[in-house]
Chains A and B, each alone.
Chain A
Amino acid sequence: MRKLTAAVLGLFFAGLVAGPALACGGLVAPNGSVNLLRTSTLAAYKDGVEHYVTSFEFTGKGGAKFGSIVPLPGIPSNVRKGGAWTLQRLAQETQPVTEELVADGAALFSSAAAPKARVILEKDIAALDVTVLEGGAEAVGRWAESNEFFLPPDSPEVLEFYAARSPIFMAVEYDVKEARERGLASGDGTPVHVSVPTSNPWVPLRILGLGKDRSEVIEADVYLLTEDQPAMLPAPGPGMTLEYSEEASKFLLSDLRSDRGMKWLPKEDMWLSYLKIDTKAGKLTNDLAIDASGAGQPSPRAAGLTDLTPAPIPGGTQWWPWAIAAGLVAVVLWSNEKFVSRRT
C-alpha cells in the first residue's frame, strides 16, 4: 500500500492592483501605494503536516510597509525561510513557455470571536515580520488596525468565511525600507516556509478576490502534488481548468528536494496537477479541498461548500475502492447473517 502522502502546491498569480485598495494581502497601509506584485504560495502535505511556502514579491514603490494575512489550517510547528526555487521550478515544469505574469497574491485573513488576538509566534525573515495570530475576525481586525493597516470593506465576510474553519492566521508585514537596506530590488521575493500539522490540506482561493470588484478577473496557478491522482472539490470546470495532470518525474522531484527545506518530498511516485484559475472575483466564493487520504472524499467544509457532495475524481480512475468497500460490506453482512442463522 502506498504511503498516505500528499502535497498540495499552490502558486497564485493575479492582476496587479494599484491604489489603496490593495487586494492580494487584504491589508492596506495608510497612504500606502505599494503594489504587491506577486504572492506565491505552496501548500504541501505529508504525514499529517501541511507545508506552506509563500513568496512575497513587491514593486518597492510607495509607502513604508505593506503586508498580507494568510489563513492557516492550524497552529504552525515551525516558521522559517523557504526554499529558493521550488515555486519557480514547478512553474517551469508545467508552464514551459515563460509568461510575464503580473500578479498579486493570495491573502487570507481570519475572523472570529476573541476580542484580542493571541500572538502564537513572531519571526523576522529577511525584510518580513511574520506574526502568527490566534483569534477571531475581530481579533485579527483589531490587530491589523493597531499595526496601522486597513482591511478592505469586503473583509468581514471573508474573515468569517475562514475563521469558521480555523482561527489561525499568519500576518506578514513587508518593510520596504529594510528591504532596500538589504538590497532587495523590485520584483524580488522572500519565501516563507510554514509547517502546520493538520488532518487534510486545502488551498485558499476565495481570498484572491479580497478587495476586488466582483467583475474583476482573478487569475491564479495552483499546483497539486499528491501520491495518487487527487480528488478535488470543487471539481475542475469553467473558471478552474485542469491544465496538467501527470506523474511527477524523478528529475522534478530531485530538483525540488534539493531546495532548502524540501527534503520531506518523496523521491518518486508523486502525481503533479496544475489548475488554472481564471474567473471573476464575484464567482470565486470557495476554496479548493484536497483529499490526501486516498479515499477520494475531499471535504465540502474545507472547500467552503458545505452543501455540496464531493466531486468525482478527475479521470474517474478511483472507483475501485468503493467497489471493494461495497463488496466487503456485502461479505460481512452475508457472513453475519450465516453466523446468526447458525446460532438460531
Chain B
Amino acid sequence: MRLLAGIAVCAVMATAGFASASGNDERTVEITIKNSKYSTASVDVEEGETIEFVIVNEDPISHEFIVGNDEIQLVHEEGTEAYHGSIPTEVTIPPGERVTTTIKFDEEDGINPGEPNYYACHLPGHFDYGMVGRIQFE
C-alpha cells in the first residue's frame, strides 16, 4: 500500500532539527511549506506536551496538516473532504496563508504516543509526492 510504504520511508528519514524546545511548557513550532514539501521531516515531542503549530504555506495551492496515526492518515488519504478547519489535528492551509493550531499530544486529544504518528497532506497526489513527516516521541 502506497500510504504504508510512504510512512515506512518516512520512518527511516533523518530527523531534521526542529523548532524550539522548552521542556514541558507550551512551545511554538513553525513549519513552512514550499514546493509541496514540509520544511522539516520530523517533530520531536514529549508525551502530554502542548505545541502551537504555525504552518506557513508559501505555495500557490492549498495544503493540509493532518496529525495522527496510520489509521487517521489512511482515512484522510481515501477521503474526499476538501477543507479542514474545526479540529486541531486536521487543518487546511490556503495558498500564501499561515494557520495556527494547538495540539496536546496525549490520548485525550486522540494522539497515542505508543504508536507511530505522522503529519501529512492528503490532497490528491501530495502524500505520494512526499508531504509527510514523523512525530517523534521522546
A159-B124 CB under 8 A given contacts A31-B80, A142-B95: no
Q: Mark A13-45, 1 if CB is under 8 A from B, else 0.
A: 000000011000000101100000000000000
Minimal beta-carbon separation of A97 from chain B (angstroms): 36
Minimal beta-carbon separation of A168 from chain B (angstroms): 15
Give every chain A residue within 8 A of B35 (Cβ-Cβ). Answer: 154, 156-157
Minimal beta-carbon separation of B94 from chain A (angstroms): 8
Minimal beta-carbon separation of A109 from chain B (angstroms): 9
Give every chain B residue within 8 A of A142 (Cβ-Cβ). Answer: 60, 94-95
Give every chain B residue within 8 A of A155 (Cβ-Cβ). Answer: 36, 60-61
Is B82 an interface residue when CB atoms closer than 8 A count as contact? Answer: yes
A145-B36 CB under 8 A given contacts A115-B96, A152-B125, A153-B125: no
Tell me which of B34, B62, B124 contacts A28 (CB under 8 A): B124
Is A302 an interface residue when CB atoms closer than 8 A count as contact? Answer: no
Could you tell me the distance between the alpha carbons of A145 and B131 in the complex, rounded to whole angstroms? 19
B60 touches A20 (CB 8 A): no
Give every chain A residue within 8 A of B36 (Cβ-Cβ). Answer: 153-156
Is B59 an interface residue when CB atoms closer than 8 A count as contact? Answer: yes
Tell me which of A111, A152, A156, A211 contacts B34 (CB under 8 A): A156
Could you tell me the distance between the alpha carbons of A111 and B126 in the complex, rounded to whole angstroms? 19
Could you tell me the distance between the alpha carbons of A308 and B47 in the complex, rounded to whole angstroms? 53
Q: Whose C-beta in chain B lies nearest to the C-beta of A112?
A: B60
Q: Mark A110-123, 1 if CB is under 8 A from B, else 0.
A: 01000100000000
- Kindly count the residue-residue contacts between A and B in the assembled complex, taking CB atoms under 8 Å apart: 59
Is A140 an interface residue when CB atoms closer than 8 A count as contact? Answer: yes
Most buried by B among A142, A151, A154, A159: A151
B125 touches A111 (CB 8 A): no
Cβ < 8 Å to B, chain A residues 153-171:
153-157, 159-160
B61 touches A141 (CB 8 A): yes
Could you tell me the distance between the alpha carbons of A153 and B80 in the complex, rounded to whole angstroms? 17
Minimal beta-carbon separation of B10 from chain A (angstroms): 16
Give every chain B residue within 8 A of A157 (Cβ-Cβ). Answer: 35
Give every chain B residue within 8 A of A139 (Cβ-Cβ). Answer: 60
A150 touches B60 (CB 8 A): no
Is B129 an interface residue when CB atoms closer than 8 A count as contact? Answer: yes
Minimal beta-carbon separation of A163 from chain B (angstroms): 9
Could you tell me the distance between the alpha carbons of A153 and B59 in the complex, rounded to whole angstroms? 10
Q: Mark B47-61, 1 if CB is under 8 A from A, else 0.
A: 000000000000111
Is A128 an interface residue when CB atoms closer than 8 A count as contact? Answer: no
Give every chain A residue within 8 A of B129 (Cβ-Cβ). Answer: 153-154
Is A136 an interface residue when CB atoms closer than 8 A count as contact? Answer: yes
Cβ < 8 Å to A, chain B residues 33-78:
34-36, 59-62
B60 touches A141 (CB 8 A): yes
Is A50 an interface residue when CB atoms closer than 8 A count as contact? Answer: no
Interface positions of A (Cβ within 8 A of B): 20-21, 28, 30-31, 111, 115, 136-142, 144-145, 150-157, 159-160, 211
